Amino acid sequence: MEVHFLGTNGWYSDHKGNTLSTYVRLPDADIILDAGNGIYKADRLLRPGLPCYLFISHFHLDHIHGLHYLVKLRPPVLHIVSSKGTTPVLQQFINRPYTIPYDRLPYPVHFHELADGWNDMPWGRVQALPLVHEITCYGYRLEAAGKSLAYCTDTGMSDNVPVLGREADLLITECALLPGVPDGGWGHLNPQDAATLARRAHCKQLALTHFAAHDYPELADRQQALTAASAIFPHTIVAREDTPLVL
Ligand SMILES: [Zn+2]
Ligand SMILES: [Zn+2]
């Protein structure tokens, strides 16, 4: 399993990077987690002949505005995976008159709604559980080829994060807030909260991503998040765009 962070900014893209999207390379499939505008870089990673599965966590714009770039990708087939009841939402705004509809893309698109809990996939299995956020948002645990990865963003403090991330090879959480800043009610984590959840999960590694672009004005500012989180959970890294991680 190989992880490429294509976008690590929360809210908006700027000189530091793009809004949220993460590519995961499995032996038998290409996975993309969320469609912030970092997804435009996925075209150089997708492998000919392998299906692509795009997981959507929720419908805040920084996680979906990259759907407008799907025409740039060339998978043989795209499976868009989201939580129950969400397919009509996905089909509403990727459509005329806003942009070209899915059936005009240069490849077939299929939609899948996951049940809460475990779901079998052709390349492994996925656990889907709700997180704590302003709108319905799901976290996903992917298991394939003997490796496990949990993706939990966006969320406030949620007991489902340690469930999804238990003993995972990698737990990816958001880190929208600065160290010590409490959640203002939308459902976000500061680095200490993220590290506390990682410690409860007994995961092997925590990767922080989704740094709010306005609160972390420079890349160097993310170092303070790393310092604060590492004091609680030492095996913490800051997600870096275009720096692959091999699990
Ligand atoms: Zn977000
Ligand atoms: Zn959100």
pLDDT digits (tens, 9 = 90+) for 172-181: 999 999 999 9
Instruction: Count the Cβ atoms, other than its own, within 10 Å of residue 212.
Output: 19
Structure-token match 């160097």, residue found: 220
Q: Are strands 206-209 and 170-174 parallel, antiparallel or unpaired?
A: parallel
Give dist(CA 226, CA 199) in Å, integer. 15
pTM of the model: 0.98
Strands (E), 29-163: 30-33, 52-55, 78-83, 109-114, 117-121, 124-130, 138-144, 147-152
Give dist(CA 106, CA 144) in Å, integer. 28
Give dist(CA 213, CA 176) in Å, integer. 8
CA of 34 to the centre of ligand 1 (A): 10
The per-residue pLDDT for range 20-56, each reduced to its tens digit, is: 999 999 999 999 999 999 999 999 999 999 999 999 9
CA of 49 to the centre of ligand 1 (A): 31
Structure-token match 């419908």, residue found: 59
CA of 60 to the centre of ligand 1 (A): 6
CA of 48 to the centre of ligand 1 (A): 30
Please name the fold of domain 2-246. Answer: Metallo-beta-lactamase; Chain A (3.60.15)
The per-residue pLDDT for range 106-162, each reduced to its tens digit, is: 999 999 999 999 999 999 999 999 999 999 999 999 999 999 999 999 999 999 999
Q: In sequence order, what are the beta bridge partners of 34?
A: none
CA of 175 to the centre of ligand 1 (A): 10
> How is the chain split into domains, by residue range?
2-246
Please report, for residues 119, 157, 214, the alpha-carbon distance to residue 195 in angstroms, rounded to integers and kept in the order given.
27, 11, 22
